[in-house]
Amino acid sequence: CDANGLIADNPLVNIRTTYDNIFPSSNTMFWTNSSCALSLKVRADGLVAIVHEPAANPFFEDMTVPYVDANNTITFIRVPWEKDNMTFAEIFPTVNNTCGEGACSVTHDDACLCEVTVSEGAVFDSLPTREDMWSTLK
């Protein structure tokens, strides 16, 4: 989904298809002009998946493909979590810490669903040096 309402130039891409293949690459994906809420699903091993929750669409019963919703997401990636100074264990929301002391909610499969805010903006006013870029990313 795209909160800015971007849709593909080719109208055929914006047609709703049936997602009936177990392999996501075999289904046709498309942009929607619906607004969207984003969240992260965090598994017990620290892997995360981006979850898309588009606004209701009066033309389709199901609002999103099953590969990006909270219950069926399949694309989990590794992210660098902060580490405990004493144990060097990664610190992230889990069921054991009540999903970040309540910052996130527990899902039906004992993962944590965390709301996120997307913020877009320039980091530099001019072309940075390599050192400036790397120091900003740390």
pTM: 0.67
Return the pLDDT at 136.
82
pLDDT over 80 (residue 17): no
Whole-angstrom distance, CA of residue 31 vs CA of residue 34: 9
Q: Give me the amino acid identity at 30.
A: F
In this predicted structure, what is the pLDDT of residue 24?
63
| Average model confidence (pLDDT) across the chain | 78
pLDDT: is 112 or 71 the higher one? 112
Question: Which residue(s) pair with 41 in the sheet?
Answer: 49, 113
Find out whether 94 and 112 touch, Cβ atoms under 8 Å.
yes
- Angle at alpha carbon of residue 45, lines to 24 and 21, rounded to 5°: 10
pLDDT score for 117: 85
Average pLDDT of span 40-56: 88
Residue 105 burial (10 A CB sphere; 0-12, 13-18, 19+) = middle
Q: What is the structure's pLDDT at 4?
A: 45
- Give the number of residues written for the chain: 138
